[in-house]
């Protein structure tokens, strides 16, 4: 499973962008998806390129050089209904951390784009359970 239910964090409170990324990185490391270096690679990516993708979605992930730090593909999904400061014009309400082996991130990004391509999709997601969200990524 790419998205384990225990890695879906619903209705979180806003925090600093750095703390959110560190929390996602800690989950990746604790769950065996990455080694500890991947968190720093995600923070470094944000200094190069803001991972806010529009439509209230941010996709933090590591720099290309960090591919070696990924053991298996996984994602962490966090909802922040009131919006998370991300250094962009809009505050993301859905933050999806991605750690992907090889090109597996392309399939993940495709599912995200298809599921959350408009504001209605984000609103639906904010009302879903962990089971419903998990089914989107496993379906």
Regarding the domain with residue range 5-138, which homologous superfamily does it belong to in the CATH classification? Mannitol-specific EII; Chain A (3.40.930.10)
Domain ranges of the chain: 5-138
Task: Note the pLDDT of residue 95.
Answer: 96
Q: What is the number of other CB atoms lying within 10 angstroms of the CB of residue 48?
A: 8
Distances in Å between the Cα of 39 and the Cα atoms of 71, 97, 121 are: 14, 10, 28
Task: Note the pLDDT of residue 90.
Answer: 93
Tokens of 108: 């993940």
Task: Note the pLDDT of residue 139.
Answer: 64
Task: Note the pLDDT of residue 115.
Answer: 73
Task: Note the pLDDT of residue 109.
Answer: 74
pLDDT, tens digit (0-9, with 9 covering 90-100), for 49-83: 999 988 899 999 998 889 899 999 999 999 999 99
Catalytic-role residue among 23, 61, 93, 105: 61
Low-confidence ranges of the chain (pLDDT < 70): 1, 139
Question: Catalytic: 105?
Answer: no
């Amino acid at each position: 499973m790419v998205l384990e239910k225990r890695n879906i964090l619903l209705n979180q409170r806003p925090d600093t962008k750095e703390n959110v990324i560190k929390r996602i990185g800690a989950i990746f490391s604790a769950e065996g998806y990455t080694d500890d270096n991947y968190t720093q690679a995600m923070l470094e990516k944000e200094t190069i390129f803001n991972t806010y993708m529009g439509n209230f979605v941010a996709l933090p992930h590591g720099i290309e050089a960090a591919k070696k730090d990924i053991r298996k593909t996984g994602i962490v999904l966090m909802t922040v209904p009131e919006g998370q400061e991300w250094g962009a014009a809009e505050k993301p309400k859905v933050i999806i951390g991605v750690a992907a082996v090889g090109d597996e991130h392309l399939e993940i990004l495709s599912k995200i784009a298809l599921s959350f391509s408009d504001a209605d999709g984000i609103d639906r997601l904010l009302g879903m359970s962990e089971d419903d969200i998990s089914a989107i990524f496993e379906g």
